[in-house]
Amino acid sequence: MELVLYNTLTRKKEVFTPLRPDEVGFYVCGPTVYDLAHIGNARPVLVFDVLYRLLKRHFAQVTYVRNITDVDDKINAAAAEKGEAIGELTKRTTQAFHEDMAALGALPPDIEPRATEHIAAMVAMIARLIEKGHAYVADGHVLFEVGTMPDYGRLSGKNRDELIAGARVEIAPYKKDPADFVLWKPSDPEIPGWESPWGRGRPGWHIECSTMSGAYLGETFDIHGGGRDLVFPHHENEIAQSCCAHDGKPFARYWVHNGFLNVNSEKMSKSIGNVLTVRTLLQQAQGETVRFAMLSTHYRQPLNWSDETLVQAKEKLDRLYTALRQAGDVPSKDAAIPEAIEAALLDDLHTPEALSALAGLASALNKAETEAEKADAKGKLLAAGAALGLLQQDPEAWFRWWPAGETQLDATEIERLIALRDKARMAKDFKEADRIRDALAAKGILLEDRGGKTIWRHAG
Ligand code: AMP
Ligand code: ZN
């Protein structure tokens, strides 16, 4: 089976073949660590987690590199505003990012380089660009001269005027051309800086990713990912820097970009006050619900996040977990990932189709009669879930999860009330039995009578 990916560089779907047989190098732009991750930041993490899992199934060696941008002017501004040391802020935010992404079931990358640990390599790359005539020093800055790169603008498909307008360049009299961008800038004594041939300063954002991807994956590598918003200028500039520093050798071969995520049809922004953090969402829903909701839209489509998105995802996951729960303790038979799921994922990560196929596997499990049929159907459903990073919970635990802030009923107390209701029913006191059921429902506990046994779950 072939993997097909939409390549932003060629604007078409292409069959993916790695540079070296059976080995894949894959880089994704990671977070700038100055604040908690919002749900938009989680989109590339989850989309590329699905790709990572898929690549690992089809290629013997996959190296997934996702960086941490821990030097950036947004970080300096946030630390000053909070009165916190920069190192503390980046450490705390990185840890929160790891916790949040783990809660969403995202596998950690193989390598997670930090920009501050690669400054020497950035300085060396900038020096090489100057030496080769692609960059110049002006007023304590080093700038990349875009006019020296004939292919500049190829990834984003922008013309020169759009490039200049899109670069949103501040008026900088030292630039030869308004589209030139910063590789190195001077640092005042109170902000982070490193010694360099051009004085004490810090790197521009784009050179960080060119340096870190090259350091772990080589000059030319297979896949580079990130959100659509990064196509220009970030990725365009990464290509310019890397190709020019490496004598025109190609940089990433396949460029994969996820679409943007809006909340209630609006762009998330601090000024509107609609920034939805992953942390907040995880109080309202389980990680798998957020993950299911995210993957319900194809990664290249824009995604409009609303309360309804979570409700629908929860309903669908409940149905899958119900099938597993009803199958009881039947041991699942090891199964390959069902064809329908794998074919959907290999077709440019068609997660919506893969998720619908899960529903079919759950119905098959519901219909299974013999132990052998159940073991087989359960194995298939679990294997398919694992391919998507779903159905990783014990079904009982799934249904007993509580949103934060709701008064939590103790499980023993619930069992006690169920026993009382059973007693009432045996005594044909249906009024009392219904009263207990309704009282539990009012607290969000739903009862289901099945095969002489009553099981409960939380409605939230
Ligand atoms: P940042 O920390 O802003 O550099 O972003 C980290 C990653 O999140 C990048 O790949 C961005 O493209 C992506 N990203 C940020 N906001 C959104 C959004 N609203 N929708 C989708 N992706 C986003
Ligand atoms: Zn990057």
Which pLDDT score, from 0 to 100, does residue 170 have? 60
Task: Quickly name the fold that domain 18-262 has.
Answer: Rossmann fold (3.40.50)
Residue 33 Cα to ligand 2 midpoint, Å, equals 13
- Residue of the CA atom closest to atom 12 of ligand 1: 227
Which pLDDT score, from 0 to 100, does residue 181 have? 94
Which pLDDT score, from 0 to 100, does residue 450 have? 76
Residue 162 Cα to ligand 2 midpoint, Å, equals 21
Residue 40 Cα to ligand 1 midpoint, Å, equals 6
Q: Which atom of ligand 1 is nearest to the CA of 38?
A: 16
Which pLDDT score, from 0 to 100, does residue 171 have? 61
Which pLDDT score, from 0 to 100, does residue 413 have? 84
Does ligand 1 come within 6 angstroms of the Cβ of 226? yes
- Residue of the CA atom closest to atom 23 of ligand 1: 40
Phi/psi-derived region of residue 265, left when phi > 0, alpha when psi is between -120 and 50, beta in every other case: left
- Residue of the CA atom closest to atom 11 of ligand 1: 227
Which pLDDT score, from 0 to 100, does residue 168 have? 59
Whole-model pTM: value is 0.92
Q: Which atom of ligand 1 is nearest to the CA of 267?
A: 19
**Contact assessment for residue 166 and residue 172, using Cβ atoms and an 8 Å cutoff:** no
Does ligand 1 come within 6 angstroms of the Cβ of 29? yes
Question: Which tokens go with 47?
Answer: 């989309």
Q: Which atom of ligand 1 is nearest to the CA of 259?
A: 21
From CA 168, how far away is CA 180, in angstroms rounded? Answer: 11
Tell me the domain boundaries of the chain.
18-262, 309-399, 411-458
- Residue of the CA atom closest to atom 18 of ligand 1: 40
From CA 376, how far away is CA 349, in angstroms rounded? Answer: 26
Amino acid at 270: K
Amino acid at 366: N
Does ligand 1 come within 6 angstroms of the Cβ of 229? yes
Helices (H), 59-108: 73-82, 86-103
From CA 274, how far away is CA 225, in angstroms rounded? Answer: 26
Residue 185 Cα to ligand 2 midpoint, Å, equals 18
Which pLDDT score, from 0 to 100, does residue 169 have? 57
Tell me which residue has tokens 């679409």. Answer: 259
From CA 82, how far away is CA 94, in angstroms rounded? Answer: 16
Does ligand 1 come within 6 angstroms of the Cβ of 230? yes
Residue 68 Cα to ligand 1 midpoint, Å, equals 13
- The ligand whose atoms approach the alpha carbon of 35 most closely is 1
Q: What pLDDT tens digit does each residue of the chain (460 aa) get?
A: 799 999 999 999 999 999 999 999 999 999 999 999 999 999 999 999 999 999 999 999 999 999 999 999 999 999 999 999 999 999 999 999 999 999 999 999 999 999 999 999 999 999 999 999 999 999 999 999 999 998 999 999 988 778 777 665 566 888 999 899 999 999 999 999 999 999 999 999 999 999 999 999 999 999 999 999 999 999 999 999 999 999 999 999 999 999 999 999 999 988 888 999 999 999 999 999 999 999 999 999 999 999 899 999 999 999 999 999 999 889 889 889 999 999 999 999 999 999 999 999 999 999 999 999 999 999 999 999 999 999 999 999 999 888 887 767 777 888 888 989 999 998 999 999 999 999 888 888 888 887 778 888 877 6
Radius of gyration of the chain, Cα coordinates, nearest whole angstrom = 26
Residue 363 Cα to ligand 1 midpoint, Å, equals 37
Mutation to probe ligand 1, out of 32, 33, 34, 41 (largest number of atoms < 8 A from CB): 41
Does ligand 1 come within 6 angstroms of the Cβ of 40? yes
Does ligand 1 come within 6 angstroms of the Cβ of 227? yes
Which pLDDT score, from 0 to 100, does residue 456 have? 84
- Residue of the CA atom closest to atom 2 of ligand 1: 31
Residues in contact with 41: Cβ distance below 8 Å, sequence separation at least 6, in sequence order: 31, 278
CATH among 1.20.120.640, 3.40.980.10, 1.20.1050.10, 1.10.340.30 for 309-399:
1.20.120.640
